[in-house]
Amino acid sequence: MAHTGWVLTSEWTKIRSVRSTLWTLAAALVVTVALGMLISFLVRQSYDDLSREERLTFDPTFISFAGTSLGQLAMIAFGILVVSNEYSTGMIRASLTAVPQRGVLMGAKLVIATALALLVGMLTSFLTFFLGQAMLGDHRTDLGEPGVLRAVFGGGLYMGLIALFAMGVTWMLRSPMLSFGVLIPFFFMISSILANVEATEKIGDYLPDQAGSRIMAVIDDGERPYGPWTGLLIMLAWVAASLLAGYVVLKRRDA
């Protein structure tokens, strides 16, 4: 049977030897941090215009994560490319002849890609927090305040999980175009529209990104029916479902 250690090494070689995938990780970091800094800076400039109510729920940690909404798209792109590359190039045929145990191949790829996404996610999360706080000036918070470390650590987890979710969906859809076409509009528009329209708010709250991003908020604005860790669990359920669906498709269909 396939030697799991060998397959992990092989997947590590695959991921580090293709430039395009690594660029998406770099983009996720740069976009999240830069946008987070910009928005934090703008918020400081307009802090005096905020209403009393808005000041009461002012959450400097969450504000510094404002760049995540855009940066996560690069993380999703990473998740899509890592898997769809195999199919769009035909490499999957070489990969499966080398490792015919499809579950082992999928597992090894997920482990390596997710570890990398988590690492970059954590780095991004801490960077965006510190630099965002620097931009917020007098309105900043710090890692020692209650809930802040959880939010920053959670931000890193969120980035890793969103990439993993995209990988699961792509194992199912295979084609890069199809995966981008489904995932990017979903996270960029549909989820935020559903979550912000009153009629669909209840559904929107339970979407993976909406539920998962609750972990990055320190102050509970009372708009979500769940706490930070429950939110992350909801996201985890989505991730598990996408991976299961991806595995079933990989196992059943001809390569």
User: In whole angstroms, how close is the CB of 247 to other proteins at the nearest point?
Assistant: 16
- 17-46 footprint of other proteins as x/- string (CB under 8 A): xxxx--------------------------
Q: How many residues bind other proteins (CB under 8 A)?
A: 30
State which residue, 89 or 200, has the beta carbon closest to other proteins: 89
State which residue, 102 or 150, has the beta carbon closest to other proteins: 102
Half-sphere exposure of residue 229: CA atoms within 13 angstroms, side-chain side: 2
Q: Which segment (15-23, 161-169, 184-192, 195-203) binds other proteins by CB under 8 A?
A: 15-23
Q: Which segment (4-12, 109-117, 179-187, 232-240) binds other proteins by CB under 8 A?
A: 4-12
For 206, the 3-state DSSP assignment is: coil
Q: CA torsion, points 243, 102, 9, 115, in degrees to nearest 10? A: 0
State which residue, 89 or 196, has the beta carbon closest to other proteins: 89
Binders of other proteins among residues 60 to 89 (CB under 8 A) are 85, 89
Measured CA to CA, the distance from residue 107 to residue 254 in angstroms comes to 18
Measured CA to CA, the distance from residue 182 to residue 169 in angstroms comes to 9
Cβ–Cβ under 8 Å, residues 117 and 13 = no
Query: Taking CB under 8 A as the rule, does residue 14 contact other proteins?
Result: yes
Measured CA to CA, the distance from residue 227 to residue 63 in angstroms comes to 18
Binders of other proteins among residues 162 to 221 (CB under 8 A) are none
- 85-124 footprint of other proteins as x/- string (CB under 8 A): x---xxxxxxxxxxxxx-----------------------
Judged by CB under 8 A, which of 50, 143, 190, 255 binds other proteins? 255
Alpha helices (runs of H) in the chain, residue ranges in sequence order: 4-16, 19-45, 52-56, 60-64, 68-89, 91-98, 102-136, 148-173, 176-185, 191-196, 201-204, 208-212, 228-252
Measured CA to CA, the distance from residue 105 to residue 250 in angstroms comes to 10
Binding site for other proteins (CB under 8 A): 1-3, 6-7, 9-11, 13-14, 17-20, 85, 89-101, 254-255
